[in-house]
Structures are given as structure tokens and as C-alpha cells.
């Protein structure tokens, strides 16, 4: 039997509020189905299940705030054949413990798991046996004083609060260094125009796709920028690139793209589009907000030339791109005008040094100078 | 479709893409992206919506010709005059 617990959607998430159940007891769910909406400091996230099964008792009520890891419901095995799906019936075992308490095995297990004393639970089953429902009632009573039920979601202020805490922590704890480089974007823009020429508007690529792919590829050779500083540097086995999405109502959300170096530009674009749409409509899925191992941000559209980004702890690096701008460009003793963009790397000096960071930026530059290989 | 109707239609598309912006206040000569605070992604969604609804495909190299409502509506009338006038 599977357990469905409050997921952790980032190393900084300690609790979440179950805003809405999308299923009820006895519903059949398939892998990838959305079964609940959970409000976190990253906004409201649609929570998916990762295995198929039958939804068990809903153990947490809507609007209840619980710590990460709290059991929300069970996923029971699907009955074979297409017979009507029976709601699992809890067998009541009429058995005495210490000569006094009767309880179903499930109730006993739940009570033990939650450190409840069976003797203190009022049984409503046959011969006063304690049932699962009784344990749930008891559990709820113990939780009530600490559970905070807010009548209306306050996502925007929660997001603000999360940003405030993270940015303050970053400035207080991370000795960051910042490196900048200006890239000649002519090859990249020409390549993109060529790729987009035959494409339907729906399939057109934006610059973010080659930027993400180049970052993913470059990071393979620079693993010390990809991970977290938690007392010491902990490299991430995968490249989980966070992309900063600004919300028009204020605040930012950071969904993630996994291993962009291994995806095609088209695949990256599809994922980026989905995440932007989901983020702005308040329906990011849990699989779209894995714990980022590095973050990328772009403020160029807002008209700025460059950004000195603040690293999102416990990550150790942040890549920022500024605005696309024509600049005078000297090359081979000639002066021309080129479309350019400024890349900035903010990195944690505890994890890497400036030379390492500058080599990484140089690698991105090399990759984007040869965009056909992307 | 009259020009006024076309402009209203385009503004309704913009409202769909950026629900918390105010396209109704957009003047014909305003730069759409800047005025409404749209990014490249939003603008691409706008181009996609025009393609889906009006069946007019604006190639990327022509984006420079459709930056204001005035230019965009001229472009659309020119590119798909039959379709637009018969709807």
C-alpha cells in the first residue's frame, strides 16, 4: 500500500496547507493525476501522484497546514478486473490488548505511528473496538491547537515572505562574487531565425531555449556550480535548472527544468511554455517545481542591461541575462555593430573561485557562438 | 469586420494573455509590449492566438511590423483582407 505524504517542493519548504482535495475516498487515480492543491510559499501547487491506485481515507482536512512528510492519504492497490470498486472495509479484530483495548490492526498501527495511546481513544466499533476513524478523530484533536486555518489563501504575501527570508539569508550568509561577460548574439539569433522560419507560431523558439541548453551543457564540465551549500558543498547528481518567472501581480515563482543539456531546444521550449502558463495561472504541478540546483533569471525584457543577481540559498550560483541590445563590437581590428546580451554569474565563493566561474561563463559563450550544435 | 471591431478583437486577445493588464486603454500608436508590460513569451502567445483565431500566420521576421495596434491591424488587413472582411 502506498503512502501519500505532504511533499517537499524545495529544501526551504517545511510545511504546506492542503487547500483542496481533487479526489475522494475510493477514487481510482493514475500516475500523474492531480489529487490535491497544496499552498506553499511558492504559491499553490497541483500535487500529482506517482503511482496508480485507489484513494484511501483522506486524513487531512482542507485548509489544514501540516509539516512536510505528514501522511495525507493511502494509495491502495487497484482491484484486478473491472468489477465495481469496493471501498476497502476495515476488518475489526476483536482482540484484547493488555486485557482491555480492542482495536483494528490498522487503528493500532496508526495509533503507534502517531504516538497515541490506544487506551485514551474512544472506540466506536463492535464491542467498543477502536477503529481507524476513531484514531483519526483523536489525531485531529491533538493537531488542532497547532493547525492554522486561514479562511482565504494569501498566496501573494506568502510568496513575498518567502522571497524576503531567502534573499536576506543569502545576503547575510553567502559570500558571493559576480562576473559579467558580454556575448555576441548574432550567430544565435540567426540560428533561431532559421529554425523558426518554417515553424508554426505554436512551435517557435525563444532565446531562453538556447540559453538554458547552453547552461545545462556547460554545467556538466563545471559541477561545483551545480548543487547546494549545506555546511559544505553538496553537488547535485542532476542539473535542475530553476527559471525565475515574474508574476504580474508581484512576486516570483521558480519552476524547474531537469537536465536541459539533454533536451532538444523544442523540448525545452515546450516545458518552459507549460511552466510559465501554469505559474501565471496558479497551477504549477509538483513535478514542475523540483528543488533547483541552480537558477537562471532574465530581466532583459524589462529594459535593463544587466543584473547582479542574488543567489537563492542553499544554491551556490545564479545566472542572469540582461537585455538584448545593439552594441559597438570590435573584432579582428574592425568595429561593427552586433546584437549583444550580458550574462552575469553570481556564485558562492565558499564553493568556487572566480577563475572557475569565469571559465564556466567562457564555456557558455563558446557554446552559444556555435548554436547549430544545440 | 470593421477596423474598430478588429481593434476590439485584438484587445480581447491581449486581455486573455495578460488578464491583469488593461488593453482597453491601449492607444493605436502605443507599443503593445512596453505599454502592457508583456515579455517575449506573452507576445508569442499573442501571435499564436492571432494564428489560431484569424488564421493569419505572422512570420517571426515580420514581428517588427506589428509592434503597435495600428501597424498590426494594417498588417492583418493586408495579409488576410478577404478572411477578415468576410467574417
pLDDT at A132: 77
Burial per residue of A338-372, b for 16 or more beta-carbon CB atoms within 10 angstroms, e otherwise: bbbbbbbbbbbeebbeeeebbebbebbbebbeebe
CB atoms within 10 A of CB B64: 8
Among A309, A300, A301, A299, which Cα is nearest to A357's? A309
Q: Which of A31-40, A291-300, A310-319 has the highest mean pLDDT?
A: A310-319
Q: Say whether pLDDT at A129 is over 80.
A: no
Considering A88, A116, A133, which residue would you say is the last residue of a domain?
A88
Q: Is residue A93 part of a domain?
A: no
The minimum CA-CA distance between A270 and chain B, rounded to whole Å, is: 12
Instruction: Flag whether A129 is in a domain.
Output: yes
Q: Nearest chain B Cα to A300, which residue?
A: B39
In a domain, A53, yes or no: yes
DSSP B6-44: HHHHHHHHHHHHSTTS-GGG--TTSBHHHHHT--HHHHH
Mutate to test the interface with B, among A212, A276, A301 (most CBs of B within 10 A): A301
Mean pLDDT of chain A: 85
Looking at the structure, do residues A198 and A327 belong to the same domain, yes or no?
yes
Residue A344 predicted with pLDDT over 80: yes
- Same-domain status, A35 and A108: no
List residues of chain A with CB under 8 Å from any CB of chain B: 193, 196-197, 200-202, 204, 206-208, 248-249, 272-273, 276, 301
DSSP code string of A334-350 = EEEEEEEEEEEEEEETT
A105-109: long-range pairs with CB below 8 Å, 24+: A106/A132, A107/A131, A107/A132, A107/A134, A107/A135
Report pLDDT digits (tens) over A161-180: 888 888 999 999 999 999 99
* Residue pLDDT, tens place only, A33-49: 899 988 877 678 888 88
- The C-alpha of B47 sits at a distance from chain A's nearest C-alpha, in angstroms, of 7
Q: What is the pLDDT of residue A85?
A: 44
Gap between the Cα atoms of A340 and A181, Å rounded: 10
Question: Are residues A179 and A62 both part of a single domain?
Answer: no
Contact at CB, B48 and A301, closer than 8 angstroms: no
Which residues in chain B have their CB less than 8 angstroms from residue A200's CB? 51, 57
pLDDT (0 to 100) of residue A153:
44
Best CA proximity match to B71, nearest among B14, B30, B33, B20: B30
Give the CATH number of the domain where residue B42 resides.
Answer: 1.10.1200.10
Determine, for residues A204 and B44 on separate chains, whether the beta-carbon distance falls below 8 Å: yes
Crossing angle of the two packed helices A354-369 and A186-197, in degrees rounded to 10: 40
Residue ending a domain, among A51, A66, A88, is A88
Chain B residues with CB under 8 Å of A248 CB are: 18, 20-21, 37
Q: From the CB of residue A249, how many other CB atoms can be counted at a distance below 10 Å?
A: 12
Q: How far is CA A102 from the centre of its chain?
A: 44
Nearest-Cα distance to chain A for B39, in Å, is: 6
- B→A contacts (Cβ < 8 Å), by residue, are 18, 20-21, 37, 39-41, 44, 47-48, 50-51, 57-61
What ipTM goes with this model? 0.86
Q: Domains in chain B: how many in total? A: 1
Contact B41 A193 (CB under 8 A): no
pLDDT at residue A95 tops 50 = no
CA distance B81 to chain A (A): 20
Rounded CA separation A240/A258 (Å): 5
Q: A213-237 as b/e, with b when 16 or more CB fall inside 10 Å?
A: bbbbbbbeebebbbbbbeeebeebe
Dist. CA B87–CA B77, nearest whole Å:
12
What tens digit of pLDDT does each residue of A182-215 get?
Answer: 999 999 999 999 999 989 999 999 999 999 999 9
Q: Provide the pLDDT confidence category of residue A4 given band limits of 50, 70 and 90.
A: confident
> Does residue A143 surpass a pLDDT of 90?
no
- Contact flag B48-A202 (C-beta cutoff 8 Å): yes
Give the domain range for residue B78: 3-86
A70: containing domain: 1-88
pTM: 0.76
Distance between CA atoms of residues A315 and A159, nearest Å: 18
Residue to substitute from B48, B54, B60, interface A, most A β-carbons within 10 A:
B60
Amino acid at each position: 500500500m502506498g503512502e501519500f505524504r505532504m511533499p517537499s517542493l524545495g529544501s526551504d519548504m517545511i510545511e504546506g496547507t492542503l487547500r483542496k482535495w481533487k479526489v475522494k475516498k475510493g477514487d481510482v487515480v493514475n500516475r500523474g493525476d492531480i489529487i490535491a492543491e497544496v499552498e506553499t510559499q511558492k504559491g499553490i501547487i497541483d500535487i500529482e501522484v506517482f503511482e496508480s491506485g485507489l484513494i484511501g481515507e483522506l486524513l487531512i482536512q482542507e485548509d489544514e497546514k501540516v509539516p512536510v512528510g505528514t501522511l495525507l492519504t493511502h494509495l491502495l492497490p487497484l482491484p484486478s478486473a473491472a468489477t465495481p470498486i469496493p471501498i476497502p472495509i476495515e476488518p475489526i479484530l476483536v482482540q484484547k490488548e493488555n486485557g482491555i483495548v480492542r482495536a483494528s490492526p490498522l487503528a493500532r498501527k496508526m495509533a503507534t505511528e502517531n504516538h497515541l495511546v490506544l487506551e485514551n481513544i474512544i472506540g466506536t466499533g463492535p464491542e467498543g473496538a477502536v477503529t481507524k476513524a476513531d484514531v483519526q478523530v483523536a489525531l485531529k484533536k491533538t493537531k488542532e491547537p497547532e493547525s492554522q486555518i486561514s479562511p482565504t489563501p494569501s498566496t501573494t504575501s506568502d510568496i513575498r515572505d518567502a522571497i524576503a527570508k531567502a534573499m536576506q539569508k543569502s545576503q547575510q550568509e553567502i559570500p558571493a562574487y559576480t562576473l559579467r561577460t558580454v556575448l555576441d548574439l548574432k550567430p544565435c539569433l540567426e540560428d533561431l531565425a532559421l529554425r523558426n522560419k518554417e515553424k508554426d507560431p505554436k512551435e517557435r523558439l525563444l532565446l531562453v531555449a538556447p540559453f538554458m541548453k547552453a547552461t545545462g551543457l556547460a554545467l556538466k564540465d563545471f559541477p561545483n556550480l551545480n548543487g547546494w551549500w549545506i555546511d559544505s558543498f553538496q553537488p547535485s547528481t542532476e542539473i535542475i535548472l530553476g527559471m525565475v518567472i515574474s508574476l504580474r501581480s508581484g512576486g516570483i515563482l521558480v519552476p524547474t527544468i531537469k537536465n536541459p543539456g539533454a533536451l532538444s531546444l523544442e523540448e525545452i521550449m515546450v516545458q518552459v511554455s507549460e511552466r510559465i502558463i501554469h505559474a501565471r495561472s496558479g497551477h504549477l504541478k509538483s513535478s514542475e517545481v523540483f528543488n533547483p540546483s541552480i537558477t537562471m533569471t532574465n530581466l532583459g525584457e524589462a529594459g535593463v542591461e544587466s543584473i547582479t543577481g542574488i543567489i537563492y540559498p542553499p544554491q551556490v550560483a545564479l545566472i542572469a541575462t540582461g537585455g538584448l541590445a545593439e552594441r559597438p563590437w570590435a573584432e579582428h581590428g574592425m568595429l561593427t555593430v552586433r546584437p549583444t546580451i550580458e550574462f552575469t554569474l553570481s556564485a558562492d565563493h565558499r564553493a568556487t573561485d572566480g577563475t572557475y566561474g569565469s571559465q564556466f561563463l567562457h564555456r557558455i559563450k563558446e557554446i552559444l557562438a556555435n548554436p547549430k550544435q544545440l | 469586420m470593421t477596423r474598430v471591431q478588429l481593434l476590439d478583437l485584438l484587445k480581447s486577445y491581449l486581455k486573455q494573455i495578460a488578464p491583469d493588464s488593461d488593453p482597453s486603454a491601449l492607444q493605436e500608436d502605443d507599443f503593445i509590449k512596453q505599454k502592457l508590460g508583456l515579455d517575449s513569451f506573452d507576445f508569442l502567445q499573442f501571435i499564436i492566438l492571432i494564428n489560431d483565431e484569424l488564421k493569419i500566420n505572422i512570420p517571426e521576421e515580420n514581428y517588427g511590423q506589428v509592434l503597435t495596434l495600428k501597424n498590426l491591424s494594417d498588417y492583418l488587413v493586408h495579409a488576410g483582407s478577404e478572411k477578415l472582411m468576410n467574417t
